[in-house]
Amino acid sequence: MAEAVLEFNSSRAAGMRPCMAAFNSTTLNSNILFLSGHARRHLAMSYFFTWISDIIVLKQHEGVVTMKKHMALMLAIVVMLTMSACANKSEDEADKAPESQSTQQEAADETGLPSQMPNFQAKDINGEVVDNEIFKDSKLTMVNIWGTFCPPCVYEMPELQRLSEEMKDQGVAVVGIIGDTPDADNEEAARAIIAEKGVEFINIIPDDAIIGGLLMYIEAYPTSIFVDGKGNIVGAPVVGAHAAEDYKEIIEGMLSQMDSAN
């Protein structure tokens, strides 16, 4: 069902956000990332017990070096199957979606996020100037904060593109912020990812205002926050990679609450 090539890159790992594993090249069935936390854990344990017997045989017939390589591969898969975000938060916390405005606000308060987007003047991945005006034409904008080093971030990209297309008529937009930029190498990697995944929504290279006024509060990648037309951050952030349908349910709940408040 899944295979991975593990290649640890210490220079990139040293500067990235908390993440349980650093992968330079990983191939994984993307549907795995949208399983429930319990399903991922069950699947991971199945791989563990199946492969541990193979490794014992390898030790007997192929030597310790081969055993170590297969052990590293096994651990890589187990880690990937049990996480939906490059984060130090628990899986259960990441899977919980806020059910009411009060619980959303409580969750938002706990993160320490500011109440508004910082005043920024940045550039997108294509070099176009982007500022706070990007929010005014939409009722609600989902801002997805991701990193090029983060496999779950990359795998949910097609889901985010589909979300942006299907909710546009409801006044909802999707915008990305590439959290491990500005950096020439990472910007090049981001362009390649965006092209490969067919992403058309705007992806921002953060300026100092975004870094100091927003990214410093983000503990996990991907994290999605929600911004109204006036630049206010509303509701609670959503941590981890999710399917478009999950985001739709959250967004439609927010829109309903916003309509009720007006």
The token duo for 153 is 């971030």
What whole-number distance in Å separates Cα of residue 233 and Cα of residue 210?
13
Note if the pTM is more than 0.75: no
As a dihedral over the C-alpha atoms of residue 111, residue 88, residue 4, residue 244, rounded to 10 degrees, the angle is -20
Cα radius of gyration rounded to whole Å, the chain:
19
Q: Over 70: is that where the pLDDT of 193 sits? A: yes
Q: What pLDDT digit, counting tens, does each position of 175-184 carry? A: 999 999 999 9
Q: How far is CA 216 from CA 109, 145, 147, in A?
A: 15, 12, 14
Amino acid at 238: V
What whole-number distance in Å separates Cα of residue 65 and Cα of residue 110?
46
Sheet harboring 129-131: ordered strands across?
129-131, 121-124, 203-205, 172-178, 140-146, 223-228, 233-239
Q: What pLDDT digit, counting tens, does each position of 199-256 carry? A: 999 999 999 999 999 999 999 999 999 999 999 999 999 999 999 999 999 999 999 9
As a dihedral over the C-alpha atoms of residue 157, residue 136, residue 205, residue 177, rounded to 10 degrees, the angle is -40
Tell me what percent of the residues of the chain surpass a pLDDT of 70: 58
Q: What pLDDT digit, counting tens, does each position of 113-122 carry? A: 899 999 999 9
User: Which pLDDT does position 112 carry in this prediction?
Assistant: 78
User: Which pLDDT does position 86 carry in this prediction?
Assistant: 81
User: Which pLDDT does position 70 carry in this prediction?
Assistant: 53
Beta strands in the chain, from DSSP E residues, in sequence order: 86-87, 121-124, 129-131, 140-146, 172-178, 203-205, 220-221, 223-228, 233-239
Rounded to an integer, the average pLDDT of 11-22 is: 39
